[in-house]
Amino acid sequence: MDVVVNNTVLSNFALVHGENLVRKIFEEKFFTPEEVVGELKIGEDRKVIPKRDWSWIQVLRLETVEEQELFRQLKQHFGIGESACLSLAIHRGQKLLTDDLSVRKYAQRCGVPISGTIGVLVLGIRNSLLSLEEGNRLLDQMISKGYYAPFFKLDDLMRR
């Protein structure tokens, strides 16, 4: 399944220089809207996140009238990156990667499969791209840089 990702997840991995892990996990099925690229650039320009190479991510545009209309409606409740991601995920049948709780709840109500930073780390471990210890280290680094994580260790999640 194609995956559309918003700024929260990309920023968490940028903070720990983990973008290559994301690239390996999702290969060519990974997308982000141009609105999120703009948000990343603002974060980099303001030195909130380090500059990273995101050139491998396929950038999508809101193309159809339906996508653009839903985007306009969603912007009344969410940021532009989140609104663009939601519109694409809903109209194109993509999975959404976000850590924003209100966006996750809306996506769930619309039947959009969701995951986030923790899910990406778990998938990396399950795909043998990193060890449990490496995943916990990355999570700890993200938390120390401001990520509000629902878990402090991935151990229990790996038993599920």
Is-contact 119 12, C-beta < 8 A? no
User: How high does pLDDT run on average in the chain?
Assistant: 94
Does the structure show a pLDDT above 90 at 98?
yes
> In the chain, what are the domains?
3-158 (3.40.50.1010)
**Mean pLDDT, residues 61-89:** 97
Q: How many CB atoms lie within 10 A of CB 29?
A: 13
- The predicted-structure confidence for 64-73, as pLDDT tens digits, reads as follows 999 999 999 9
Q: What is the pLDDT of residues 134-150, one digit of tens each?
A: 999 999 999 999 999 88
Q: Would the pTM of this model clear 0.85, i.e. be above it?
A: yes
Residue 159 pLDDT > 90, yes or no?
no
Phi-psi region of 104 (alpha: psi -120 to 50; beta: other; left: phi over 0): alpha
Q: So what's the pLDDT on residue 50?
A: 94
Regarding beta strands 30-33 and 58-60, do their DSSP bridges make them parallel or antiparallel, or are they unpaired? parallel
**Residue 27 pLDDT:** 77
Find the mean pLDDT for residues 109-115: 96
Residue 115 above 90 pLDDT? yes
Three-state SS string across the chain, please? CCEEECHHHHHHHHHCCCHHHHHHHHCCCEEEEHHHHHHHHHHHHCCCCCCCCCCCCEEECCCCHHHHHHHHHHCCCCCHHHHHHHHHHHHHCCEEECCCHHHHHHHHHCCCCEECHHHHHHHHHHCCCCCHHHHHHHHHHHHHCCCCCCCCCCHHHHCC
> pLDDT of 8-47, one tens digit each?
999 999 999 999 999 998 877 899 999 999 999 999 999 9
